[in-house]
Each structure stands twice: as C-alpha cells, then as structure tokens.
C-alpha cells in the first residue's frame, strides 16, 4: 500500500500494483447465433487487490455468472484476457490453483460424501498432498463450526451448513482469489451473518474476494469496492464509500417545526422535494436547496442534514439511468 496526495482531495490509500490478484481486460462472451446472437458479457475489465472484497452487482441476466465462469477457467472468453496473480487460468495450472470458487447452487460439492471427505477429495484434486488436505480440512471444519457434522453426508446438512462446507472446500488449496456467486442466497438471518463474518475474515487473511449478490445490504456491508454490470456492460467500478458519498452529496433531509401548508407542498414538489410530515427529503443542487428553504418560510427550520444514500438507491438509480431505449 502506498499513500498518495492528490490536490484538492483527502489523502487516499492506493494499493500498489504488485497487490493485484485478479485483472480482467475487455472480457467478452456472446451466446446464440445469427439474429439470436447477443453479448452476455461485453468488454468487462475488473481489478481486485489482496485483502479486498469487490461486490460484483447487476440485475438478473446481467452477465455476472458468465464473467465468473470466464475468470475461473470454465467458460472460454471470445475476447479479452484474465490474469490471476499474473497468470492466465485458461493456460496455466498455477493460476487455477490460486482460484477458489463457490458457484451458483453449490455445485462444488459431492452430496453423498461427508464434509471431511469432500475437503480431502477436492484438496487432492487440486494437488494438495492427502495428509495436508486432511489436516487443513479439519482446521477449516473447526473454524467454520462444522466439527460435529464432519461425518454427515452433505445431502443431510442444512442449507447454511452446506454453504459453509462449500466455502471451506473452496479454500482447501489456499487460493489467493475467492469467487463467491451468491453465497447468502436462501440462507436464514443467522447463517447469512455467519457467512458474512467468514467473508470478512477470509479477506483479512489477505485473499481477494469477488462477491456477487442480490442482497445489496450484504454488498454494502462487506465490500470495499463495487462493480455494477448491466446487459453485459460495466456501468461503474469504484470504492463503495466514494460511490455512496457521490450520491449522498446531493441528498438532504430537512426537519421543520410544523407541517408545511398545501401551497408549500406544491412549491416543494415542483423543486423536486418530498414532504413526509415535518421532514422534507430532497436530492439536487444547492441552489435548489436554497429555493426550497425559501419556500418553507416562515416555518422554523430545525435541522438540515446530508441524507446518506444506501447501495440499493444507488444501484436502482444507476441501473435505470443506463437503460437503453427499447427499439
């Protein structure tokens, strides 16, 4: 990590280039033929550093899973490249050994085998010596609170336990990059919390995590950066904090002492504000804000606060703003 000073900006921490774990450039994949041909993923470039969680978000069918499959060597890109710790997973076994993946629907487990057997089996498959795979497997099971269930076939475990086993298996070969496709899907609150804690711990160990989820509160809580994809194209990629701040900069919440009159309500609505009892929310320019304050007179003003945007608002706005006109 290196600290840099940018004029007019606060001091920011920039990761050094050597900490890059994943870099994709212009990844593209089309499906279908002739008139039915469409670009499921279109020139997607992503960067992920050590210890970082990147939330990879997008509506259904946006191309997230296809991108993850290209990163993990399962689907060959039509164009573009993938580098995992500097190597191409489509050519180098070493790159593959640095990837752990939990894809949609836990397909990385054998349901008839126990957690212990799964860990050992997949460890050996990824070239971990059997004894080491066994030992590491037991450590992971202990860490994930699954010791008691280590000899129960995976098919007889609860959904949350299966998910934990899937994550444990993805870590058996000690990869630097972890790809998690909807890891909290279908989990209850408690199991979701456990998975979130695990994701945080795994990132703290210095691994890089690419996380897709439709649970935007989970993404907001866990991610250092956010990448949003829509119809195969990247809309934005930036730090979660700066994205939220960018949208929060123009959002305000005002409290007044008294309820605005009908005339005031109409004036506020015209300025783009929204009245809810004695609160007014507004997103727009500061000139607009002053006009709104003028419209509220003579009601006493109790407070004006920046209204922090959440990731759900930002996501919906960005995805709508990037709607292509339908032909």
Ligand X SMILES: Nc1ncnc2c1ncn2[C@@H]1O[C@H](COP(=O)(O)OP(=O)(O)OP(=O)(O)O)[C@@H](O)[C@H]1O
165 binds ligand X (CB under 6 A): no
Q: Which is nearer to ligand X, 68 or 140 (CB)?
A: 68
Interface with ligand X (CB under 6 A), residue total: 10
Contact segment (CB under 6 A) with ligand X among 58-66, 120-128, 188-196, 272-280 equals 58-66
Contact segment (CB under 6 A) with ligand X among 14-22, 55-63, 138-146, 158-166 equals 55-63
Instruction: Report the C-alpha gap between 88 and 94 in whole angstroms.
Output: 9
User: Considering all CA atoms of the chain, what is the largest pairwise distance in Å, rounded to the nearest integer?
Assistant: 78
Q: Which residue is nearest to Mg ion (CB)?
A: 65
Least distance from ligand X to the Cβ atom of residue 79, Å: 16
284 HSE (CA, 13 A, CB side): 16
301 HSE (CA, 13 A, CB side): 14
58 binds ligand X (CB under 6 A): yes
Least distance from ligand X to the Cβ atom of residue 229, Å: 7
73 binds ligand X (CB under 6 A): no
- The item of Mg ion, ligand X, none sharing an interface with residue 60, based on CB under 5 to 8 Å by kind, is ligand X
Q: Which residues of 82-92 are buried (b: 16+ CB within 10 A; e: fewer)?
A: bbbbebebbeb
106 binds ligand X (CB under 6 A): no
Q: Which is nearer to Mg ion, 64 or 225 (CB)?
A: 64
Contact segment (CB under 6 A) with ligand X among 10-18, 56-64, 149-157, 243-251 equals 56-64
Q: Which is nearer to ligand X, 61 or 129 (CB)?
A: 61
Among 21, 22, 63, 280, binds ligand X (CB under 6 A): 63
Q: Which is nearer to ligand X, 32 or 300 (CB)?
A: 32
Among 48, 62, 133, 180, binds ligand X (CB under 6 A): 62
66 binds ligand X (CB under 6 A): yes
Among 24, 42, 65, 264, binds Mg ion (CB under 5 A): 65
Q: Summarize as ranges the residues that interact with Mg ion (CB under 5 A).
A: 64-65
Per CB under 6 A, residues contacting ligand X are 31, 40, 58, 60-66
């Amino acid at each position: 990590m290196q600290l840099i000073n940018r004029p007019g900006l606060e001091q920011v921490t920039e990761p050094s280039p050597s900490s890059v774990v994943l870099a994709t450039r212009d990844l593209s994949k089309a499906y279908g033929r002739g008139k039915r041909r469409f670009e499921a993923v279109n020139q997607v470039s992503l960067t992920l550093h050590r210890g970082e969680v990147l939330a990879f978000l997008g509506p259904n069918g946006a191309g997230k899973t296809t991108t993850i499959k290209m990163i993990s060597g399962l689907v060959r890109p039509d164009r573009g490249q993938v580098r995992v710790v500097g190597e191409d997973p489509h050519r180098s076994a070493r790159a593959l050994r640095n990837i752990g993946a939990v894809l949609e629907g836990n397909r990385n487990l054998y349901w008839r085998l126990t957690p212990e057997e799964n860990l050992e089996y997949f460890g050996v498959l990824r070239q971990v010596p059997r004894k080491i795979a066994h030992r590491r497997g037991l450590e992971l099971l202990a860490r994930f609170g699954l010791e008691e269930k280590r000899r129960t076939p995976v098919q007889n475990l609860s959904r949350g336990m299966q998910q934990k086993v899937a994550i444990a298996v993805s870590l058996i070969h000690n990869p630097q990059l972890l790809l998690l496709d909807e890891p909290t899907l279908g989990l209850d609150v408690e199991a979701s919390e456990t998975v979130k804690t695990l994701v945080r711990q795994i990132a703290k160990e210095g691994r890089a995590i690419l996380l897709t989820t439709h649970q935007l509160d989970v993404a907001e809580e866990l991610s250092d950066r956010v990448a949003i994809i829509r119809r195969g194209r990247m809309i934005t990629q930036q730090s979660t904090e700066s994205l939220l701040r960018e949208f929060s900069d123009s959002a305000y919440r005002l409290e007044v002492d008294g309820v605005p009159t009908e005339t005031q309500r109409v004036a506020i609505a015209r300025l783009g504000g929204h009245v809810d009892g004695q609160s007014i929310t507004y997103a727009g320019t500061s000139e607009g804000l002053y006009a709104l304050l003028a419209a509220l007179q003579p009601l006493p003003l109790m407070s004006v606060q920046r209204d922090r945007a959440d990731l759900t608002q930002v996501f919906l706005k960005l995805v709508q703003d990037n709607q292509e006109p339908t032909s």
